[in-house]
Amino acid sequence: MKILNRLTIKHLKMNPKRTIVTIMGIVLSMALMLGCGLLASSFIEAMKTDTIRDQGAHHVTFLDITKEQAQMIENNLNVEDSYFYSTIGFAPFEDSINSSKPYYYIAGGSSKFFDHMEFVEGRAPENENEIVISDHISANGGKNIHVGDILTLNVGSRLYDGEIIYQNKNYDEAIPDQIIQTKEKKYKVVGIIHRSYTEDFTAAGYSLFTMNNTYSDNNFLLIQFKKPKDAFQIGQDMTEYIGLDASKLDYNTSLLYYYGATKYSNVNQSILEVLCIALGLLSVGCIIVIYNSFAISTMERKKQFGLYASIGATKRQILHTVFFEAFVVGTIGISLGIIGSFVGIYIVLQILNYLLSSVWNYHFELVLNWIYILIPIFFMVLVIFFSAFIPAKRASKVSPIVAIRENDDIKMPRRKLRSPKFITWIFGIEGELAFKNMKRNKRKYRITVLSLFISIVLFLSFSAYLGYGVSSMNSLDRYSYDIEVSSYRETNIVDQLKEIQTDARVDRSSIFFLDFVFIPFEPSYYVSAYENYKKTMNSPVETVNLYVLSDSDFLEYATQVSASPQSVLLVNHGQIISYKNNERYSYQGKIFQKEFSEFKVCQEHITENENAEPTYDCNNIVSNVKQVSEAPELFQHLLYDNQIVAFVSESTYQTVFEPISILKNKYYSLFIRSREYEELYQSLSKQNSYLNVFSPQIIYQEEKNMVLAIKILLYGFISLVTLIGVTSVFNTIHTSINLRRKEFAMLRSMGLTPNGFNKMILFESLFFGLKSLVFGLPVSFGFILLIHNSMSGFGERDRLLIPWTAVMIAILGVFIVVLLAMGYSVHKIKKENILNAIRDENI
pLDDT tier at 202, thresholds 50, 70, 90: confident
What are the pLDDT digits (tens) for 13-48?
Answer: 877 777 787 787 788 788 878 887 888 788 778 778
Q: How many CB atoms lie within 10 A of CB 548?
A: 23
Integer angstrom CA distances of residue 455 from 282, 294, 647, 737, 805:
11, 18, 51, 20, 16
Rank 191-195, 240-244, 749-753 by mean pLDDT and report only the highest: 191-195
pLDDT tier at 583, thresholds 50, 70, 90: low
How many residues are present in the chain? 843
Element (H, E) at 168: none
Q: Give the pLDDT of residue 843.
A: 41
Asked if the model's pLDDT at residue 312 lies above 80, the reply is: no
Name the β-bridge partners of 544: 517, 644
What is the percent of the chain where pLDDT is above 70?
A: 77
3-state secondary structure of 382: helix
Q: Residues 740, 299: contact at Cβ < 8 Å?
A: no
Q: Give the pLDDT of residue 570.
A: 92
Distance CA 683, CA 686 (A): 5
Distance CA 769, CA 451 (A): 11
For the chain, counts of helices (H) and of strands (E): 24, 23
pLDDT tier at 197, thresholds 50, 70, 90: confident
Can you tell me the mean pLDDT for 374-394?
A: 81
- Flag the least confident range among 511-520, 532-541, 544-553, 597-606: 532-541
- pTM of the predicted model as reported, rounded to 2 decimal places: 0.65
Q: Residues 741, 832: contact at Cβ < 8 Å?
A: yes
Asked if the model's pLDDT at residue 80 lies above 70, the reply is: yes
Q: Give the pLDDT of residue 132.
A: 92
Nearest to 546 by CA among 590, 500, 514, 519: 514
Of 437 and 525, the structure prediction assigns the larger pLDDT to 525
Nearest to 822 by CA among 457, 441, 445: 445
Residue type, 338: I
DSSP letter, residue 197? T
Q: Give the angle subtended at the CA of 241 by the CAs of 240 and 246, to the nearest 5°.
A: 30
- Flag the least confident range among 66-70, 730-734, 763-767, 789-793: 789-793
Can you tell me the mean pLDDT for 807-830?
A: 79
Rank 443-447, 504-508, 713-717 by mean pLDDT and report only the highest: 504-508
What are the pLDDT digits (tens) for 235-283?
Answer: 888 888 877 777 778 888 878 878 877 665 545 555 556 666 767 777 7
Residue type, 685: S
Asked if the model's pLDDT at residue 66 lies above 50, the reply is: yes
Of 690 and 693, the structure prediction assigns the larger pLDDT to 693
pLDDT tier at 526, thresholds 50, 70, 90: confident
What are the pLDDT digits (tens) for 347-363?
Answer: 888 877 776 666 556 67
